[in-house]
Each structure stands twice: as structure tokens, then as C-alpha cells.
Amino acid sequence: MASSVNANVSTSIYCQACGAINPAQATHCFACGQPLSPVTGGTGATTNPLTGLLLSDVIIHQRYRILEVLSAGEVSTVYKAQDIQFGNRVVALKEIGQNQQSTQEVQDAAELIEAGKREMLLLASLIHPNLPRIYEYFVENQRWYFVMDFLEGETLETYLGKRKNRALPVKEVLDSGIQLATVLDYLHLSQSPLGLKDLKMSSIWRTPDGKLYLLDTGMVPPAAAMSQSRSVYSLGRILRRLQAGKMSLRALLHIALPKLRKRSRRAQSLPLKRLIQQMIHKDVHKRPFMSLVMIRQELQQQELQLLATEQTPTPSLKKRLLSRRSLLKVGGFVGLAAASGTLAWLVESQVLNIVPHPVYSPNMGGTICTYNTGSGVLGVAWSPDGMRLAMGNANGHVQAWDANTGLHVIDFQAPHLWRRIEDVIWLPEGNAIAAGGDDSIVWVWNAATGRLQRTYAGHTNWVITLASSPDGKYIASGSFDTTVQVWGVAGGQQAVIYRGHTDKICSVAWSPDSRYIASASYDATVQVWEAATGRPVYTYSGHAVPVYTVAWSPDGKHIASGDVGGTVLVWPVALFESDGQQQQDPVTYNQQGGYQHSPVEAVTWSPDSRYVASISHDVQIWNSFTGEQIFTYTHHIFAVQSVAWSPNGRYIASGGIEGTVQVWNALIKQGKG
């Protein structure tokens, strides 16, 4: 590529000052008037005077050695470079400037250059494992440079072509779909001007280890950006191509499934084919509503089921399982198998080696018990006395167990709930459970009988988060409709609607004295306001990206908030309770391990306010005063979505996308606090 680029111009001179291209005989630049250097390319030259491209082995910014030209466009060039100050790591260096030959071209390029700079600066603010990361940018010789990940590999289109367009294994298609659904959902929720006009095989980069990156992000007007439904459709077409290879859309939609030869492969691929058919149905009005989150979770469930089929139990094990249909002993806890659905998960649990676990471990992180719920767990909560556990999952169910015996106490289900429970809480007196989800309604049940006590229908979009006032009189519910609504538990009457946020609500938390509510939002703020009146008290703007979770310390002195970039900040309530002067710097904790930049889904405090547990793909416990990491719990198969610390401080319950709630020892060793 470099040789073809260098041969592009042979009778012109590149201006070192402004980047314009001048006739070879010119002595001064027509665009900026600066003297032009002769076309010699002699010792000391950093650019090819014929093309304006940086020469190999040139070092710019006193740090980056140019290795080769990867691509050259109208206003930008991408180089492969070496970072000589950071272990000689290889990076991609994107240069934005102008290589135009006329005054009109220079003027026309100005807007493109500005748009390119804005696009790169916006991309730098987006942090996601499936987007190229921008580490640094600088200006040199009137040109902008952006230091980015250098990605080995090829486009998905090239990769499939090398396979002669043969279909990919189901497992690989599922993994690709999960990655793409996750990053597309992130782009939609980030509310960034960056977007995708369409999703194409040529705009997806695949590394040799199978990781995918979106390359074709750009500044697009709202009307041109893909809607959520359009993204689902485009993703469906990509998955169809990966699964079917060269098979036509018509063939996929009308394939005679019983004629497929290999029964095992057919069984593995059928659920995926059905999902794809829904995503790309030719009649848009007949496509069921599916968000990218739903698509991702469905793909993850299929991946889990595929794992189960690859570890099919022997006939003797199946017979042994069927003979124990009434009771299952789970690490000393007894789970009642009273229905056929329960029997199904008993078999699955044995297949996946989820149980048994030890009854008690004196070591931190020892798993006490694992409950399999059958679907991704999005909310988990302890009863106030620590005797029972409740969870809400992606299938619209709320289930409760006795934490001492493991007995399944009751299974609730909202009569009209569409598909998902987003959050579940136990009311302070322990006699009721509340849950909210994608039907925009909050449901409250009697915890002992399962009888529906009341509903609250004040929201116009998904109810994402719930919190009960410590005195038990009110519930605060946060929604994608950008409001937090406070309403009475006794009669369901609305008390306050808080409208201070400009984007979706992610999390709410009450102060221990019931005076204040803290709410976290996609608008990158945490806002504290009076629960009784809705009067704003303080806006915390320490996060630069959407804030997913907020939790008030039990002693009432600090607030912990976690964001989509993998950072948790612990900041003092004294910011707004005293004279407004900051008493101390916030404690910053960045998720450790391989998921530093993954969103922090939730945080929970230990009852003594000394420790915080934060979740992403695992659960990490750390000192709230120093930010020192104490322990990481890694027993979930997929990402962790919910977490709760038991009232006595001894245990943590965590819920994962794979459909399990795991209870484990959270005792901190002496000397660590």
C-alpha cells in the first residue's frame, strides 16, 4: 500500500506548514504563503515532499517511530507505528490533515478535517472492549494525530471469504453475536453523536483470537443513525451470513429443517435459526419487539445450553437424577423439586457442575449454595432479617428461598409482565417484595402468600431500579422515562416526581435517615435531592460517562457510584450536608483483572460501611477508605448483574446472566480492613 500511495503525485510539492499541495515549480504555498522546501527528501526530512506522508523510521512527538503506511485517504492517513517509550508496543497512528491541490479543495477539506477531529475526540470518550481504544492525541506540524489500538487480523468479510464462505460453527456464531449485540447496545445507550449508518461485514474487524471490533463508527445525524430495531435487523443479517455462509436469505427462511443430515448439529443450530428468522422477518410489522439487550441475553442462554449439550450426562446419571425428583441436596441446603420445571434445572445443574458446593467455608469466597433460576438474574435482595433471598430474572419471575434451609419459598409472576424483571427489593418490615421491569409497572406482593397487594403504574417506560425508604413508608422507582417517582407503600399514592435528570435513570438509593434520595443516570451525574419535596440538593459530576449504579453507605457518611467505564467513586456526604466544601478527595476504584473498562453494573456496601463490593464480569471487594482490593469472586460463568450483602455481613449473594444466584462467604480477614 505504501508504494502505491507514494507514487500518487510526481509533479507537486507538499507544504510543510499547512499541508496543501503545490505545483513543483512553486516557491511559496498558494494556500498559506509560506516558503516551500525544495523536493530533495535529503537528510533530516520527515515527510516525502511529493506526497506529504511520513517517512519510515521517522519519530514524531518524541515517542512514535513510523513503521509503514496502512491506509491513506482524502484527509487522513493511518500508520503502523512503534511506541518507543512503552516497551516498543505497536500502535496505529491516525493522522488528520489535508493533501489538496487547489484553493477550493483546501476549503472543502476544512469541514472534513474538523468533522474527523470531532469524531476521533468523541470516539476517545467511548470505552468498550469491542471499540478500538484511543490512548492519546496530539498536534504536530499543524496536523492532528490519534494513537489507537493496532489490531491484527482482518475484516469479518475477508475471514469468511478465506473459509470459502462456509458456515461458522454455532458456538462461534453465538460468540460473535454476543459481542456485536453488546457493543451496539452500548453505542445506543451512550447517546453519543457517533453512530452506525449500517452494520456490514466489511466494517467489523476480527482478530486471530476471535475478538470483534466495530470500525465504521462516524458522525451521523439522528435521522441517519440506526434505530434499535434497525440494529437488531442488521445484526440478524450478519448472524445469518455467519451461520449460513453463502446460503440465501430465501433458503434460510424456507429451509426444510427435518432434511438436515446431522441431527446433533441441527439440534444445536435450531434455536439460533429461529432467533435469526425473528430478527430479519421480511414483514417489519411481524417482527416481535426485541431490544439488543434481549438479543444478547438470548444468545448467552443459547451458549449456555450448547455447553450443557456438550457435557451430556451418562444414562446412569440421568436415571439417578430422575429418582431424586422430590428433593435435591445442594451443599447441605435442601431444594424442593415440586414441579417439572424444577426437575429440568436439577438435570441442568448436574450437567453444568454447578452443584454441589460446601455448606460452609471459613475462607473468603467459599461458595455456600447455588440456586439455578432458569434465566438471567437481574436483581437479588436479602430479607431484612437475612433469613430469605429474593431474585428477579429475565423471564419475568420473582422467586424467594429460605436462606437457612434452601427451600424454595414462593414463585411470583406479574400477570402482564412482558419478559424481564429489572430490579427486586424487600420492604424493611420483611412482609412484602416489590419488583419492576419492562412493562413500566411496579408490582408489590405479600412475601408469605405471594398474593399481589398493589401495583404502581406512574411510569411510561421500563422501571429499572427500586429502593425502599428505611422507614418503610415509601418506594422510589427509577425509569428509562428519565424520572424518579416516590410513592406510598400503604396506598400506592404518588408523592414526588423528580425530573432533574436529562437521560435514563439507572439507580436510586435512600439515605439511612430517609431524608434524601441519590439517583444515577446516563447523563453522567449523581443527583441528591430531598425525598419529601424533590428539591435538588447537590449534583455530583465526578464521572465523565453514564453512571450505572449508586449506593449510600449504611453509616450515612459516603456515597458510592459506579459508571460504564469501570470506575467506582466513593465520595463524602459532607459535600452537601456542610458548607459545600469538599472535605476529602473521593476514593477511586477501577475494576481489576481483565475487565478494567467493563461497566460497573452494581455496588453494595458491607453493613459496617468499611467495604464495597462492585460487579462487572466478576465480584470485587475492596476497602472503601483506601481503594485497596481485598478479594475477587470469579465463580459465575457469564457476567454478574446483581449483588447484595447480607444484613449480618457474613455473606454475599450475586446473580449472573447464566441464571444462577450464588451465596458465598464474605468474611474479611483481620488486618485487611
User: How many C-beta atoms surround the C-beta of residue 442 within 10 A?
Assistant: 26
pLDDT averaged over consecutive 10-residue blocks of the chain (673 residues)? 36 60 72 66 58 84 90 80 89 74 49 61 72 82 83 91 88 93 80 62 90 70 61 91 68 40 54 87 69 80 70 39 27 28 28 33 72 85 94 84 75 61 92 90 89 91 95 94 95 94 96 96 95 95 93 96 93 73 76 73 96 93 94 88 95 90 80 39
Q: Do the beta carbons of residue 51 and residue 69 sit within 8 Å?
A: no
- Under CATH, what is the fold of the domain 357-665? Methylamine Dehydrogenase; Chain H (2.130.10)
Q: Which residues contact 484 (CB under 8 A, 6 or more apart)?
A: 476, 477, 478, 497, 498, 501, 505, 508, 517, 519
> Cα dihedral angle (9, 14, 20, 26), rounded to 10 degrees?
-90
Total residue length of the chain: 673
Q: Which residue spans of the chain are classified as CATH 1.10.510.10?
A: 154-309
Long-range contacts of 244-248 (CB under 8 A, 24+ apart): 244/167, 245/160, 245/163, 245/165, 245/166, 245/167, 245/168, 246/165, 247/167
Residue 603's H or E segment, with its range, is strand 602-605
Strand partners, 479: 463
**Residue 521 cell numbers, joined:** 443516570
User: Which residue, among 529, 527, 526, 525, has the nearest Cα to 516 in the 3D structure?
Assistant: 529
**Residue 649 cell numbers, joined:** 455481613
Q: Do the beta carbons of residue 359 and residue 318 sit within 8 Å?
A: no
| Predicted pLDDT of residue 410 | 79
Q: Which residue spans of the chain are classified as CATH 2.130.10.10?
A: 357-665
- CATH architecture assigned to 154-309: Orthogonal Bundle (1.10)
| Predicted pLDDT of residue 386 | 93
DSSP assignment string, 14-38: E-TTT--EEETT-SB-TTT-PBPPP
| Predicted pLDDT of residue 149 | 87
Q: Is the peptide bond before 356 cis (omega within 30 degrees of 0)?
A: yes
Apex CA 342: angle with CA 340 and CA 348, to 5°? 110
Sign of the torsion formed by the C-alpha atoms of 452, 456, 462 and 465: negative
| Predicted pLDDT of residue 514 | 94
Q: Which residue spans of the chain are classified as CATH 3.30.200.20?
A: 2-149
User: 3-class DSSP state for residue 298?
Assistant: helix
- CATH architecture assigned to 2-149: 2-Layer Sandwich (3.30)
